[in-house]
Amino acid sequence: MAITETAYAKINLALHVRRRREDGYHELETLFAFVDAGDVLSARVSDQDRVTTLGEFAGGIDDPLDNLVAKTLAVLSRAQGLDITLEKNLPVAAGLGGGSADAGAVFRLVEQMHGLPDDWQSRAAKLGADVPCCVRSETVVGRGTGTELERAPQDLAGTPVLLVNPRVPLATGPVFKAWDGRDRGALPEGSAREIALEGRNDLTTPALELCPPISDVLDALANGEAWLSRMSGSGATCFALYDDEAARDHAAERLRKKRPDWWLLTGKLR
């Protein structure tokens, strides 16, 4: 019998880049949040590990056997193999932590079937800086490279959210490389809503330089009833938060008619 897990789309409600580190990474302060929708993974016990990828964005994965799902299975030893089908609903290279979210879902699948090793957090961090936060998929503050996690107030749970992507992939590396190196200050303190409202995304300017269509998305989201709209992560996906579902759905319908070429996802924050 198959069991399923959703790989919840990850968004950065705020992302402050503080400095470039000598190891090539960047010192970050960010507020991670998760949408109650995303990729879907189904797993069955098998004689060996297998990964099958399907869905709208399956073509964005160059090598299904070398993606984060396969790599996650490799670091979580088990007595039985798992045959996993990954339904790729989230765009690739989109600032939604899609691969990391998939890895987090694999951790939860293995946890249900076999339990996790005591050192699961360090194993997750070796797969990617944002994989540890994706395992639990809760609103948290991330520091360092994003692996130092602090539980944040959960006051935004249930908030209606709209995700919009111009269907233009944007790799993370070039965006960080284009960051101007200026420290614009620490992440605010307070409730999750206060941090989000008072925070910023320091990667917006370099992302816009590399991917101008993001500007069109931000302009479209600003012309609505959202109380906050911003680019997520390194882009190109942007999000908008609303006080009620009706306002979110009205904005989504308006954008679907105006820009049928864009990718949209509606949901709520977890």
Q: What's the pLDDT tens digit per position in 227-244? A: 999 999 999 999 999 999
- Residue 59 to residues 138, 141, 143, 190: CA-CA distances in angstroms? 29, 32, 33, 41
Average pLDDT score over residue span 110-134: 96
Annotated catalytic residue: which of 10, 71, 88, 202? Answer: 10
pLDDT at 186 over 80: yes
Q: Cα(95)–Cα(166) distance, rounded to whole angstroms?
A: 12
Handedness of CA 261, 263, 265, 194 (dihedral sign): negative
3-state class percentages of the chain: helix first, strand second, coil last, to nearest 5 = 35, 30, 35
Q: Cα(111)–Cα(50) distance, rounded to whole angstroms?
A: 18
Kindly indicate the confidence band of residue 67, based on its pLDDT and cuts at 50, 70 and 90: confident
Contact status, residue 82 vs residue 110, Cβ threshold 8 Å? yes
Per CATH, domain 3-151 is 3.30.230.10: yes
Bridge partners of 164? Answer: 238, 264
Instruction: Put residue 236 in one of left, alpha, beta given phi > 0 → left and psi -120 to 50 → alpha.
Output: alpha
3 state SS of 3:
strand
Active-site residue flag, 130:
yes
CA distance from start to end of the chain? 27
Kindly indicate the confidence band of residue 65, based on its pLDDT and cuts at 50, 70 and 90: low
Residues 6+ apart with CB under 8 A from 33: 10, 11, 12, 13, 139, 156, 192, 269, 270
Listed residue (195, 220, 215) closest to 205, CA to CA: 215
Taking the model in full, what pTM does it have?
A: 0.95
Q: Cα(32)–Cα(149) distance, rounded to whole angstroms?
A: 10
**Which is higher by pLDDT, 86 or 23?**
86
pLDDT score for 66: 59
Bridge partners of 5? Answer: 41
Annotated catalytic residue: which of 49, 102, 130, 202? Answer: 130
pLDDT digits (tens, 9 = 90+) for 145-162: 999 999 999 999 999 999
- CATH of segment(s) 160-268: 3.30.70.890
Q: Which residue bears the tokens 């070796």?
A: 126
Assigned token pair, 251: 């904005």
Average pLDDT score over residue span 20-33: 94
pLDDT digits (tens, 9 = 90+) for 100-112: 999 999 999 999 9
Q: What is the 3-state secondary structure (H, E, C) of 110-135?
A: HHHHHCCCCCHHHHHHHHCCCHHHHH
Kindly indicate the confidence band of residue 224, based on its pLDDT and cuts at 50, 70 and 90: confident
pLDDT at 55 over 90: yes
- Whether 160-268 and 3-151 are alike in CATH topology: the answer is no
Q: Domain coordinates of the chain in residue numbers?
A: 3-151, 160-268
